[in-house]
Structure 1
Amino acid sequence: MKLKYVAPLLALSMAIGTAYAEDTVTVTIGSASPLSGPQASFGQDNANGVKMAIKDLNAQNIVIGGKKVIWKVDAQDDQADPKQATTVAQKFVDEKVNGVVGHLNSGCTFPASRIYNNAGIPDITPSSTDPKISQQGFKTFFRIIANDNALGSGLANYAKTKLKATKVAVIDDRTAYGQGVADVFAKTAQKDGMKVVDREYTNDKATDFSAILTKIKASNPDVIFYGGMYPQAGPLVRQMRQLGIKATLMGGDGICAPELGKLAGEAVAGTICAEGGSPLSQMPGGEAWKKRYDAEFGANAFQLYSPYSYDGTMVLAHAMMKAKSVDPKKYLPFIQNINYNGVTKKDIHFTKTGELVDATITISTFDKDGKKSVIAVQ
């Protein structure tokens, strides 16, 4: 008697399974950042923000186009290398991801953005600040943070008005980000009446700056601006103090990381940096979000950009919901005026070139213990 029910039950089981499969759709968000090498702490922080957003989206049981969405993240290591970034970008295109949050570095986002544009896949960077990226005219590119024009000019104005600097020296690491933010700082400093007494160059792998600093020391600047990332800024400021250089080290968001204090030791005291966006305490959902982040990834995981990668993921998801489609080409037009209330900012929306509307910058300083504190919000 029992055998009579095997076939009908099997058929019913298969029917239910088929119906379930047809009633779900998988959405994959690509996350691209350096997950290895000197900048890995920044890169992992970016990826963590995306992962946290994906977890929250899955908990909401979202339905788009009549199908329940299963959200996934594909986190790839671009090694902070433009060539590897294009490989990662092509991988995302080949795998038909639904959107991308990345890359971390401007030098990586610049070439990758063309690949995404050609494929019609929206990409939101939570951290690349080179203005030239948005000037390419790609409709798929968006930046959810202030760009180098805001960072470089804000720091130059602070040097003039608050530090009363009259002479500045400028160093950059020749990357798209480093050179870009340094150029803006130097141009604004001159416009504000400060004298750029020296302009030096290094690279994003350097650790010995003694020759550059010895030359700069002779001009006795009030400020040394470094356009680059924290793995170089740490030994740079340490060597400044060893050579008896008393100038204030300043830099953009690339040096605004907790890791800077670990690399520089007590020499980090007085270093000033600027990051795009508001301090966590002034973000609409910053402090509550940070508690959840720490519980998920550990108290030492947070660096800088994860709230922006979280919001970037949410912007893509909400654009899909408004479009009632997970097809990149169909939901892309909904991103610019998404008006999403995020962790980092209320009413997130973008200009026609993909820049964040009403972007804010935060200027901070480090004490001798490596603790960062806010000194200005612009």
Structure 2
Amino acid sequence: MRGGRDLALLLGLTLVALPGCGKSTKQPVATIAVITPISHGVTAFGRGIRDSVDLAIREANRRHAVKGWTLRLAVGDDQSTPDIGAAAARRLAADPTVAGVIGTYNSGVASAVVPELDRAALVMISPGNTDPGLSRSGGSRPHADYYRVVTTDAVQGPFGAEYAYRHAGARTVAVVYENKPVSEKLALAFKDRFTADGGKIVDVEAVPAGTTEFSAIVPKIAPLRPDLVFFGGEYPLAGPLAAELHKAGLAAPLMGGDGIFDPKFIELAGPGSDGDLATAVGAPATALPSARRYINDYKVARYREAFSNFGPYAFDAANVLIDALARVLPGRNRIDTAARRAIERAVQQTDKEGITGHIAFDRYGDTVTRELTVYRVSNGVWKQAEIAEFR
């Protein structure tokens, strides 16, 4: 998965031959699929997710983790677009070798992908979805085959709000969000907690999905002189918004969730981005002794893209699935519906230490870990400001 394959990914799916998949092997093949943005959308996250799963599979094949089976990778490029993600899911579900899926990054894509996988009894473990509604709806679990290894915006939004009020000293905030359900939920979760803590929301603005033109809202926000602007959305929009706010003379920092935490945000926002803030799920891999080997192995593998904040979670998600395959597949020679359902049950029983920390799931398929990090831009680089377990 080292570059040069994006054109093929545009056509739908790529199958990747991995160590142990030589011509002479007579072992059955189990395919671990990834659905994530590769050619369009938030590709900085998607490619790191893809390559981290690739790394996990290569390591598993070298140690013969699933006795009697060889693992391979299939990649579906969802382009951060729900319809494209759903089409990739249907193609993967029809492949009798597919044992499970790692993905998606985008919550909106997940809402279209998960029903397709549910119909095929395929488990999906997300390294990046934060929309609470994917796992909980009216107190029930809407998708029995859906799991995630990152916490949700029901935690991330209040975490960011508490930091803004108690640590950044913000008392007035303007809220802007991209007109997508997951972005709105994050923004409103921030708003509700900030006001509960005693802060004041001076403006709330929704912008069209995908826009990078903010001339209609910047003149509204700048004269209000808020202490902080909170943005619900991702870096392709957040960067240009921050640049326009700075150009309008607003010195207040822009804050966002995990969707803006990428060097690309700083590039798009420009030199005025120093002081801007982002929350992110989990702790940074570079701060975790448990992630040192992963970081080194990823570097040695010479992937062309950085692993991003979500690569370590994709690596952990892949290993959760590999552990489940190791318990279910030995003694079988094919992956039928019964095997897929057994794999899902094995995932639910996960209780292990990963490179990102403890991994276990509650009855909704959500991670039991609620650790998050605040980052601040300093001298043109994201730097860790606080790591905390939010309760």
- TM-score w.r.t. length of structure 2: 0.87
Question: Residues 261 and 280 of structure 2 are in contact (CA less than 8 Å); yes or no, is this contact kept in structure 1?
Answer: yes
Q: Deviations over 1:307-338 (max 9, x none)?
A: 11111111011012223456211121111221
Specify the SS of the correspondent of 1:210.
Answer: coil
Paired residues for 1:1-378 under 5 Å = 21=26, 24-64=27-67, 68-96=68-96, 97-136=98-137, 137=141, 138-298=143-303, 301-324=306-329, 327-346=339-358, 348-369=359-380, 371-378=381-388
Question: Residues 284 and 344 of structure 1 are in contact (CA less than 8 Å); yes or no, is this contact kept in structure 2?
Answer: no
Question: Residues 238 and 267 of structure 1 are in contact (CA less than 8 Å); yes or no, is this contact kept in structure 2?
Answer: yes
How far the C-alpha of 1:176 sits from its partner, in A, is 2.7
How far the C-alpha of 1:204 sits from its partner, in A, is 3.3
Specify the SS of the correspondent of 2:352.
Answer: coil
How far the C-alpha of 1:298 sits from its partner, in A, is 4.6
Distance in 2, matches of 1:367 and 1:176, equals 31
How far the C-alpha of 1:38 sits from its partner, in A, is 4.0
Specify the SS of the correspondent of 1:98.
Answer: strand
Specify the SS of the correspondent of 2:69.
Answer: strand
Distance in 1, matches of 2:254 and 2:114, equals 32
How far the C-alpha of 1:304 sits from its partner, in A, is 1.5
Question: Residues 131 and 182 of structure 2 are in contact (CA less than 8 Å); yes or no, is this contact kept in structure 1?
Answer: yes
Task: Write 1 or 2 for the structure with the bigger share of helix.
Answer: 1
Distance in 2, matches of 1:88 and 1:299, equals 24
Distance in 1, matches of 2:251 and 2:306, equals 32
Runs of 5+ consecutive residues of structure 1 not aligned to the other structure: 1-18
How far the C-alpha of 1:20 sits from its partner, in A, is 5.9
Q: Deviations over 1:22-57 (max 9, x none)?
A: xx1211011011111242221111111111111111
Question: Residues 32 and 78 of structure 1 are in contact (CA less than 8 Å); yes or no, is this contact kept in structure 2?
Answer: yes
Distance in 2, matches of 1:338 and 1:180, equals 29
Q: Please, which moves more after superposition, 101-110 or 301-310?
A: 301-310
How far the C-alpha of 1:89 sits from its partner, in A, is 1.1
> CA 1:299 to 1:375, structure 2 compared with 1: closer, same or farther past 3 Å?
farther
Question: Residues 265 and 368 of structure 1 are in contact (CA less than 8 Å); yes or no, is this contact kept in structure 2?
Answer: no
- TM-score w.r.t. length of structure 1: 0.90
| Runs of 4+ residues deviating >6 angstroms | none
In structure 2, give the amino acid aligned to 1:272.
Answer: L
How far the C-alpha of 1:372 sits from its partner, in A, is 1.1
Distance in 2, matches of 1:270 and 1:299, equals 29
Q: What is residue 6 of structure 1 aligned with on the other side?
A: none
Specify the SS of the correspondent of 2:353.
Answer: coil
In structure 2, give the amino acid aligned to 1:310.
Answer: F
How far the C-alpha of 1:292 sits from its partner, in A, is 1.7
> CA 1:100 to 1:63, structure 2 compared with 1: closer, same or farther past 3 Å?
closer
Distance in 1, matches of 2:308 and 2:66, equals 33
Q: What is residue 12 of structure 1 aligned with on the other side?
A: none
How many residues were matched structurally?
A: 355
In structure 1, give the amino acid aligned to 2:387.
Answer: V
Distance in 2, matches of 1:170 and 1:314, equals 38
Specify the SS of the correspondent of 1:58.
Answer: helix
How far the C-alpha of 1:63 sits from its partner, in A, is 4.0
Specify the SS of the correspondent of 1:341.
Answer: strand
Question: Residues 128 and 177 of structure 1 are in contact (CA less than 8 Å); yes or no, is this contact kept in structure 2?
Answer: no
Question: Residues 107 and 130 of structure 2 are in contact (CA less than 8 Å); yes or no, is this contact kept in structure 1?
Answer: yes
Distance in 2, matches of 1:126 and 1:289, equals 16
Q: Deviations over 1:261-293 (max 9, x none)?
A: 222221221111011111213335223311221
Q: Deviations over 1:45-90 (max 9, x none)?
A: 11111111111111112344xxx21111111110101111111111
Runs of 5+ consecutive residues of structure 2 not aligned to the other structure: 1-23
How far the C-alpha of 1:235 sits from its partner, in A, is 0.9
Specify the SS of the correspondent of 2:354.
Answer: coil
Question: Residues 168 and 197 of structure 1 are in contact (CA less than 8 Å); yes or no, is this contact kept in structure 2?
Answer: yes
Distance in 2, matches of 1:358 and 1:290, equals 22
**CA root-mean-square deviation:** 1.9
Structure of larger gyration radius: 1
Distance in 1, matches of 2:49 and 2:113, equals 17
